[in-house]
């Protein structure tokens, strides 16, 4: 009697976007970004910058569709493909969140805001996870894998915050330079006023 065939779970596919059912957003986000980039070199620009719109030369006036070149038509098609890929990757609950969005960029940002929150929310979440890490212990009903699950989320949050830090530092440095320039300007005006008062006194 022959043995039943052993079940082998299906791996990821490069032909269809990874399914997102509401859990492990960071895991899905990373795979989805890779999937979109793999479809076309310009597709990720649709997510980061926005939809491509052909314009009349040296202006911001939209070009009539009948005048589009083949290359322009192909880039416009990326807009539709990006929206199709995102919508095809979502379960019904997540799909409903982005149903009213008009562009792929808006869809991506809506999902990101919902699952990651604002910078303040992300900082609060990582603080909570750090606190959990400090009190780290295994519950009776947990497996070892489950016990270590929240650590992956902690690392993901930490990576995101680390990416944001250089930008914050640049903004703080710029503010400091502006403030210093303003102070130097005020000090220069004070010295000038003092000189004028002294000259007027001597004249009298």
Asked whether 108 and 47 are in contact (CB, 8 A), the reply is: yes
Asked whether 29 and 90 are in contact (CB, 8 A), the reply is: no
**Concatenated DSSP letters for 64-92?**
PGGG--HHHHHHHHHHHHHHHHHHHTB-H
83 or 159, higher pLDDT: 83
Tokens of 107: 């869809």
Q: How does residue 184 score in pLDDT terms, banded at 50, 70 and 90? A: low
State pTM to two decimals. 0.55
Picking from 23, 4, 20, 21, the residue whose alpha carbon sits closest to that of residue 149 is: 23
pLDDT number for residue 86: 96
Give pLDDT tens digits for 8-40. 334 456 788 999 999 889 999 999 999 999 999
Give pLDDT tens digits for 42-83. 999 999 999 999 999 888 899 999 999 999 999 999 999 999
Give pLDDT tens digits for 89-118. 999 999 999 999 999 999 999 999 999 875
pLDDT number for residue 38: 94
pLDDT number for residue 59: 84
Burial class (CB in 10 A: 0-12, 13-18, 19+), 159: exposed
Query: In Å, how far are 1, 3, 14, 37 from 7, measured between CA atoms?
Result: 18, 12, 21, 32
pLDDT number for residue 10: 40
Beta bridge partners of 20: 90
Which backbone phi and psi does 39 adopt, to 5 degrees? -80, -35
């Amino acid at each position: 009697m022959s043995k039943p065939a052993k079940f082998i779970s299906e791996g990821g596919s490069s032909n269809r976007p990874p399914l997102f059912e509401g859990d492990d957003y960071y895991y899905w986000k990373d795979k989805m970004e890779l999937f979109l980039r793999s479809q076309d070199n310009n597709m990720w620009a649709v997510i980061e910058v926005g939809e491509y719109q052909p314009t009349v030369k040296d202006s911001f006036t939209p070009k009539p569709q009948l005048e589009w070149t083949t290359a322009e038509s192909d880039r416009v098609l990326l807009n539709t493909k990006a929206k199709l890929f995102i919508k095809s990757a979502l379960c019904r609950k997540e799909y409903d969140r982005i149903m009213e969005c008009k562009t792929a960029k808006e869809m991506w940002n809506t999902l990101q805001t919902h699952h990651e929150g604002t910078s303040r929310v992300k900082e609060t979440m990582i603080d909570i996870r750090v606190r959990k890490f400090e009190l780290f212990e295994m519950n009776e009903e947990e497996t070892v894998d489950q016990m270590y699950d929240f650590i992956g989320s902690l690392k993901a949050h930490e990576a995101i915050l680390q990416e944001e830090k250089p930008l914050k530092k640049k903004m703080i440095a710029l503010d400091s330079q502006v403030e210093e320039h303003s102070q130097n300007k005020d000090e220069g005006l004070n010295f000038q006023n003092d000189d004028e008062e002294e000259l007027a006194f001597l004249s009298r």
